[in-house]
């Protein structure tokens, strides 16, 4: 068993792809957690070879805006490993030692540089993997906990199979208007959504900024799979004050399923009720289009959207964790 270090991001990504093909015989590698392009803040990668065969990989990214418990933190991502605790410990210990030598206070992961990218491990086997939910081996959580990683945050995806409207008692400003996304002005719409998201999510756990062009690139790549009637915008005097983004679950073959990915509103008492109205309108759209199931994806344990999901009769579907290690 030997460790190899890599400072070239592209070379390391190719090695991760090679390893993935050997670890995932029954899954398309493009849906893997490690399939995402490595973050620009890539610092170093590690791989393990056993008998000259790749058996594990991980890389460290240095997002200079990332702090955990008010101290500098780095991330690990593109973690793949055989089902062997000796191998995982050998790999992770090398990564941990490197981060200690670099003077970081915490190591977070899995996270590809920031929360704008892929992160978290599922706690249950991903037997029903949905679209936008990156896949990984079910034993990774155990490998992290075995070497001492602890829980930084817990997330949940909830499911609604009843699709029953709830009664709403909150009244919102009647001058607030609602519409669907205009695909003919897609890039203009994205720029407005970028400004909106940068404002309303800036207090979220582990939030760091993202360049507008990077945001645009992410969603320009999704243009062909997004349906305008599944993206709802709330506006007040020409300003975007509410957003609901849902995506058809292209992975689900046994029923018609919708993924509610993002919902939020501008802060302020006058915008109370906007998120509820967006949810109601999306529920009506789901009923009209004969969806049988809605997944409310990746909600933080303390996120108020969990309360909204419960009003839509949401029940637990899958839980996830983000991990940390004090260095």
**Cβ(309)–Cβ(296) below 8 Å:** yes
Q: Which of 59, 80, 54, 58 is nearest to 140 (CA)?
A: 80
| SS3 state of residue 122 | strand
Angle between helices 140-147 and 85-101 (to 10 degrees): 50
b/e map 32-55, b = 16+ CB within 10 Å: bbbbbebbebbbbbbbbeeeeebb
pLDDT digits (tens, 9 = 90+) for 101-157: 999 999 999 999 999 999 999 999 998 999 999 999 999 999 999 999 999 999 999
pTM score, whole prediction: 0.92
**CB 217: neighbour CB atoms within 10 A?**
12
Positions of CATH 3.40.630.30 in the chain? 177-321
Of the options 3.30.70, 3.40.50, 1.10.260, 3.40.630, the CATH number for the domain spanning 2-148: 3.40.630
**CATH homologous superfamily of 177-321:** Gcn5-related N-acetyltransferase (GNAT) (3.40.630.30)
pLDDT at 206 over 90: yes
Q: Which of 82, 74, 80 is nearest to 98 (CA)?
A: 74
pLDDT digits (tens, 9 = 90+) for 247-304: 999 999 999 999 999 999 999 988 988 988 898 899 999 999 999 999 999 988 775 4
Whole-number Å distance between alpha carbons of 88 and 177: 53
Percent of the chain past pLDDT 90, that is, above it, reads 82
Helix (H) or strand (E) holding 239, with range, is: strand 239-248
Largest pairwise CA distance in the chain: 69
């Amino acid at each position: 068993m030997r460790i190899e270090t890599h400072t070239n991001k592209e070379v390391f990504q190719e090695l991760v792809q090679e390893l993935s093909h050997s670890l995932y015989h029954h899954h398309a590698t493009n849906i893997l957690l490690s399939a995402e392009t490595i973050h620009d803040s890539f610092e170093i990668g590690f791989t393990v070879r056993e008998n000259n065969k790749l058996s594990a990989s991980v890389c460290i990214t240095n997002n200079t805006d990332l702090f955990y418990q008010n101290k500098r933190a780095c991330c690990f991502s593109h973690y793949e490993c055989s089902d062997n605790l000796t191998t995982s410990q050998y790999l992770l210990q090398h990564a941990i030692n490197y981060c200690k030598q670099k003077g970081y206070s915490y190591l977070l992961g899995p996270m590809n540089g920031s929360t704008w990218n892929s992160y978290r491990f599922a706690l249950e086997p991903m037997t029903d993997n949905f679209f936008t939910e990156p896949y990984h081996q079910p034993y990774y959580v155990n490998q992290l906990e075995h070497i001492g990683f602890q829980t930084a945050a817990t997330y949940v995806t909830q499911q609604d199979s009843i699709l029953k409207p709830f009664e709403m008692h909150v009244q919102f400003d009647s001058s607030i208007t609602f519409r669907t996304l205009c695909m003919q002005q897609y890039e203009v719409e994205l720029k407005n959504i970028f400004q909106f998201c940068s404002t309303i999510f800036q207090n979220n756990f582990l939030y760091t900024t993202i360049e507008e062009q990077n945001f645009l690139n992410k969603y320009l790549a999704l243009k062909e799979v997004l349906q305008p009637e599944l993206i709802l915008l709330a506006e007040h005097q020409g300003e975007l004050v509410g957003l609901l983004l849902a995506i058809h679950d292209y992975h689900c073959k046994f029923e018609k399923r919708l993924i509610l990915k993002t919902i939020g509103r501008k802060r302020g008492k006058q915008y109370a009720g906007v998120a509820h109205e967006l949810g109601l309108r999306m529920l009506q759209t789901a009923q009209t289009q004969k969806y049988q199931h809605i997944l409310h994806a990746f909600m933080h344990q303390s996120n108020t959207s969990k309360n909204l999901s419960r009003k839509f009769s949401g029940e637990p579907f899958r839980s996830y964790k983000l991990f940390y290690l004090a260095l």
